[in-house]
């Protein structure tokens, strides 16, 4: 039966005391002798390497320890791995590290990086249901740039300060779209029927932006940044968005052929196909790249990327849709009329 965890309880309450720490100054034979002399309870997953002050400096896979020369120094064999969780951190933070780093055990340290113990992956696997439920509620808040933990703290004034910057971001995006619409006012008033398809284009762009943001975020949050998988994801998003844009554009264009004014049906269908394809590609790239830009600016990509990606997607879709309409009017391909 799966246990239920309080994700806000400190990690130390579920920690197993450290049993497999060795010194970086030891040789392989010295480390093996030291480990053999101990009474180790439970499964041995990693051998952790510490310095003279018991600070975590790396880990040593068991295979490497067993098959290396006896006189080899551990400092030369260890993997310089410093990913750890503080003993007083909430369990939720440890679970997040497990989900991002794919570890079988997570070292626990104190405020000075001294190694205290470990949490193994079994606890994470038992608590994934609790973490999934919490993430569902967090995702709703992060869409507007607020974490659940922050929202629970303080009163009305604090809530205002937390939420207003991201609502202001949406306001700026809305005003930007209004400014773009005013620039292309002649186009939108000349081809009135295209206005009815505008919400569809925006909805498709916002949807794919959030999808791309959700997929890219775990790669962006890794320390260090997982650049190779991220660039691969960027290429995949570009291709997927292009195919999705063409498919959705064909459906929207088909609707324009059926419901549009007779003299404008083919131009309207062309505008919708081109604008939807462009908008979905641009939105997917925005959803993927915005978290990286925010991380570069030392902002929390998990908290801020959602609102910013939506604003960028809306702005690009508005500019693309109305810009293409104006271009087709200018070339004469789109005849004026309602």
Least confident of 58-67, 257-266, 293-302: 293-302
pLDDT of residue 140: 42
pLDDT of residue 225: 72
Strand ranges (DSSP E) for the chain? 16-17, 21-23, 47-50, 56-60, 85-86, 105-109, 115-120
* pLDDT tens digits for range 190-215: 666 777 888 888 888 888 888 887 78
Q: How far apart are CA 159 and CA 309, in angstroms?
A: 22
The H or E element spanning position 157 is: helix 156-183
Q: Please determine, for residue 218, whether its predicted confidence score (pLDDT) is greater than 80.
A: no
CB-CB contact of 256 with 325 (8 Å): no
pLDDT of residue 95: 76
CB-CB contact of 28 with 53 (8 Å): no
Who has greater pLDDT, 189 or 52? Answer: 52
Q: How far apart are CA 62 and CA 69, in angstroms?
A: 13
Least confident of 153-162, 186-195, 202-211, 278-287: 153-162
Determine the straight-line distance between the first and last CA of the chain, rounded to whole angstroms.
Answer: 65
Backbone angles phi, psi at 55, to 5 degrees: -85, 140
Least confident of 139-143, 213-217, 266-270, 273-277: 139-143
Question: Exposure of 123 by Cβ count < 10 A (0-12 exposed, 13-18 middle, 19+ buried)?
Answer: buried
Backbone angles phi, psi at 16, to 5 degrees: -95, 130
Domains identified in the chain and CATH numbers: 11-129 (3.10.580.10), 148-331 (1.10.357.20)
pTM over 0.85: no
């Amino acid at each position: 039966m799966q246990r239920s965890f309080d994700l806000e309880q400190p990690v130390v309450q579920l920690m197993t005391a450290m049993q497999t720490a060795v010194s970086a100054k030891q040789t392989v034979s010295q480390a093996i002798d030291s480990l053999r002399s101990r009474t180790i309870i439970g499964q041995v997953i990693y051998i952790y390497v510490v310095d003279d002050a018991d600070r975590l400096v790396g880990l040593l896979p068991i295979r490497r320890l067993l098959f290396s020369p006896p006189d080899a120094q551990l400092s030369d064999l260890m993997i310089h791995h410093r990913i750890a969780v503080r003993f007083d951190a909430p369990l939720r933070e440890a679970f997040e590290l497990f989900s991002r780093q794919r570890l079988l055990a997570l070292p626990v340290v104190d405020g000075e990086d001294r190694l205290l113990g470990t949490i193994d992956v079994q606890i994470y696997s038992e608590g994934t249901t609790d973490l999934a439920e919490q993430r569902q509620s967090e995702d709703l808040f992060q869409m507007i740039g607020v974490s659940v933990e922050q929202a629970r703290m303080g009163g009305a004034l604090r809530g205002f300060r937390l939420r207003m910057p991201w609502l202001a971001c949406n306001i700026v995006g809305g005003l930007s779209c209004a400014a773009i619409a005013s620039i292309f006012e002649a186009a939108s008033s000349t081809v009135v029927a295209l206005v009815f398809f505008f919400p569809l284009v925006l909805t498709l762009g916002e949807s794919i932006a959030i999808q791309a943001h959700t997929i890219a975020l775990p790669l962006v949050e890794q320390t260090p940044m997982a650049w190779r998988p991220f660039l691969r994801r960027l290429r995949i998003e570009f291709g997927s968005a292009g195919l999705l844009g063409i498919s959705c554009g064909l459906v929207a264009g088909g609707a324009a052929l059926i419901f549009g004014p007779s003299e404008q049906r083919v131009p309207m269908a062309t505008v919708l196909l081109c604008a939807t394809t462009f908008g979905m590609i641009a939105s997917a790239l925005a959803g993927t790249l915005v978290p990286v830009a925010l991380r570069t600016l030392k902002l929390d990509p998990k908290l801020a990327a959602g609102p910013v990606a939506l604003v960028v997607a809306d702005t690009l879709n508005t500019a693309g849709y109305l810009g293409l309409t104006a271009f087709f009017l200018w070339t004469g391909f789109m005849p004026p009329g309602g």
